[in-house]
Structure 1
Amino acid sequence: MKSEAQTQDWVTRRERGSLPVIKACVWVALRLGRRAARLFLYPVCLYFLLSSPAASAASRGYLARVLGRPARWTDVFRHFLTFASCVLDRVFLLNEQRGWFDITVHNEALVQEIEAQGTGCMLFGAHFGSFEVARAVGRQREHLPISLLMYEENAQKIRAALAAINPNLATEVIGLGRLDSLIAVAERLQRGHFIGVLADRNFDGRDLVRYPFLGGEASFPKGPFRVAMLLQRPVVMMAGIYRGGRRYDVRFELLAEAPATRPADPEAWIDEVMRRYVSRLEDYCREAPFNWFNFYDFWA
């Protein structure tokens, strides 16, 4: 088995973007419009296919698992193109241009019920599809703010990127790993926030548990689930599935009710909820395989 540092290989990869580049891309996208901006995705994805052997290999490995056959280069290109499409769409969603998209929301009654209770919830997603499309849905509802909880180093980068795209959204990110992180999450939950977490990987490679996933065993972090248990909030899974063109499906489903008291066996509670999460994530990957965006060896 590889070390934790190797397992979290995605952490150490050199960033390919910078704030000036992000600002330039945002400027071009918003002035050209989505249809014209999408034309640039094809040469960009071809460039990454040729210049990113590690990401291409990871894509082939994942696609072979989920498709049940060796992945062709056209599959890898489609995988990159799906990712690039979601990244581009994020620019328009963050700038409140939801009108570009055809978004179908499933099980919205669950969200409405939790919203009416005013207690907030932990909203678990993954590096799968578009989490931003769920936040766009939330912003359409006046009393449903969605904050993102992520590791502090990534949080700093995301805050800067959000400020470059839409300065009004930078405060929606909570850095995890600071002394006041849990307090900040608890305060926002008290105000009825949904706290979004991408719960399929963490930053430091610690506190991981391996579960069966797509024919192998992969590591998933316990931290987000422990936060939900400690703060006694319901856990809702969200998937924003990109269907091509301008179509998205947003799915909400309850993974765990809010525990009325701290569970007698906290580790058993966490394990049960994590197994549900991993199982549903596997189902989503099989349903929409090109929506998976972990471009490193997830099973290492």
Structure 2
Amino acid sequence: MAAKHWSKMQERGNRLGMQILLFSYRILGRKGLWIILFPVVFYLFLTGKTARRASYAFLTQVRKVNGNDKVVTWRDSFRHFRCFADSAFDKIDAWLARIPQSNISYTNEALFIELDEHAQGAIFIGSHLGNLEVCRALSQHRSSKVINVLVFTHHAVEFNKLLKSINPDVAINLIQVTDLGPDMAIMLKDKVEQGEIVVIVGDRTSTTTAGRVIEADFLEKPAPFSQGPFILAALLDCPVFHLFCLKDKTADGKVFYRVIFEKYADKLVLPRKTRQQTLHKIVSDYAQRLSYYAAAYPYQWFNFYDFWQNDEHVSRDQNKEN
């Protein structure tokens, strides 16, 4: 049986469940809700064969890269699942403005300030490492820039709508896309020219078409990366940044968030004669930065499928989890 594409994995959750989560969180707080949520997360761990297998494989590869020969156990994988569940609370905290500025560390913040001061648009290429939702909300404390977030699943749209209902003043536009076609590119270019930000993830392959990928080394193994986000970045003709938001701890155990801006280029140019070579270099550079942070923060890797699978061998017409 062909492997399943990430976009066709059954989304385990619905809007009602999200609303119950939010209501319970407001009543019980983080620690109180975890008492109730723990058995739910454990059930999802036990029954999520595909996600559990992917977690084992990813953590094993990270340890290999980091020179750690310790065998990954079910406890390590369950910790991975718990971190994913806990990230939902981080999102809610951010949108409720419960994260104080003292708990936020900005790397290269001057780059973002410069964009703001010059009313310049840009594209931020993020990932499913860490918590981009936290980064989106936190940025509103520092800037009035409109942020346009491209999302690729219905579940992501619903969860973000729920978050926005918590704080409707946050200037976030959610744009659900299935394909990055010409019409979408024209609309986004208009937004960038008005000084707005476009956020897209670079670590998910096309939801509709197989093979539109560039293979690049990720944690010392070739993995498929979609060409779409990087071609879009070139079409928008604007500054390009890599963006990460990672949860960390100080030496004394205090939790804080690292919001990392890394400027990649003033604009991306894909010359006709060397288009594929140039595109491969751009994607490889992104994969290298993603590898660097994934190796440092492995439990914040929230791609629970075989990330190294051959994209052309992946089925896009299945609807239930194996």
TM-score (norm 1): 0.88
Name the CA shift for 1:46/1:54 in 2 (closer, same or farther; >3 Å).
same
Partner of 1:242, secondary structure, is: strand
Which residue of structure 1 aligns with residue 316 of structure 2?
none
The match for 1:163 among 161, 164, 176 is 161
Residue 107 of structure 1: aligned partner: 108
Q: 1:21: which partner in 2?
A: 17
- The number of equivalent residue pairs is 292
CA pair 75-58 structure 1, distance change in 2 beyond 3 A: same
**Aligned match for 1:201, one of 182, 191, 204:** 204
Q: Does 2:184 correspond to 1:181?
A: yes
Residue 50 of structure 1 is matched in structure 2 by 46
Partner of 1:148: 149
CA distance in structure 2 between the partners assigned to 1:72 and 1:162 by the alignment: 33
Identify the residue that residue 248 of structure 1 maps to in structure 2.
Answer: 257
Q: How far off its partner does 1:87 sit?
A: 1.7
CA contact (8 A) 1:124 1:238 kept: yes
Other-structure match for 2:121: 120
Q: What amino acid sits opposite 1:26 in the alignment?
A: L
Counterpart residue identity of residue 142, structure 1:
S
Between the aligned partners of 1:97 and 1:159, the Cα distance in structure 2 is 23
- Please say which of residues 117-126 and 280-289 is displaced more in the overlay: 117-126
- Secondary structure in 1 matching 2:308: coil
After TM superposition, give the deviation of residue 50 of structure 1 in Å.
1.4
The Cα shift of 1:23 comes to 0.9
More helix, by proportion = 1
Which has the higher mean CA deviation after the structures are superposed, 68-77 or 52-61? 68-77
1:283 alignment counterpart: 292
Greater shift, 280-289 or 157-166, is seen at: 157-166
Taking structure 2 as the reference length, the TM-score comes to: 0.82
Structure 1's consecutive aligned runs of 4 or more residues displaced over 6 angstroms after TM superposition are: none
Q: Does 1:60 align with 2:61?
A: no
Q: Is the 8 A contact 2:146 2:172 kept in 1?
A: no
1:58-105 Cα offsets, whole Å, 9 max, x none, are: 100010000124311111011111111112211222333333982211
Q: Point out the more displaced range, 187-196 or 283-292.
A: 187-196
Partners of 1:189 and 1:56 lie apart in 2 by 39
User: Helix, strand or coil: the match of 1:26?
Assistant: helix
Query: What is the letter of the counterpart of residue 44 of structure 2?
Result: F
Q: Which runs of 5+ in 1 are unaligned?
A: none
Counterpart residue type for residue 228 of structure 1: A
Shift of 1:217: 1.2
Secondary structure at the aligned position of 1:239 is classed as strand
- For 1:82 and 1:101, locate their aligned partners in 2 and report how far apart those are by CA, in whole Å: 22
Conserved in 1, the CA contact under 8 Å of 2:145 and 2:171? no
Percent of paired sites with the same residue: 28
The residue type equivalent to 2:33 in the other structure is A
Q: Distance in 1 between matches of 2:190 and 2:219?
A: 37
The answer to whether the 8 A contact 2:151-2:176 is kept is yes
The Cα of 1:277 is off from its aligned counterpart by 0.3
**Conservation of the 8 A alpha-carbon contact between 1:230 and 1:262:** no
Amino acid at match of 2:74: W
Q: Summarize deviations over 1:243-288 as a string: whole Å, max 9, x none.
A: 26742211111122224x7645443332222111000100001111
**Range 190-199 or range 163-172, more displaced:** 163-172
Q: What's the offset of the Cα at 1:27?
A: 1.0
SS state of the match for residue 247, structure 2? strand
Equivalent AA in structure 1 for residue 303 of structure 2:
N
Find the aligned partners of 1:239 and 1:253 in 2 and give their Cα distance: 9
Alpha carbons of structure 1 residues 143 and 100: separation in structure 2 relative to 1, 3 Å:
closer
Within 2, Cα distance between the matches of 1:39 and 1:99? Answer: 25
Q: Does 1:294 align with 2:298?
A: no
Q: Distance in 2 between matches of 1:39 and 1:88?
A: 14
In the alignment, is residue 238 of structure 1 matched against residue 212 of structure 2?
no
**Following TM superposition, by how much is the alpha carbon of 1:116 offset from its aligned partner in structure 2, in angstroms?**
2.3
> What's the secondary structure of 2:306's corresponding residue?
coil
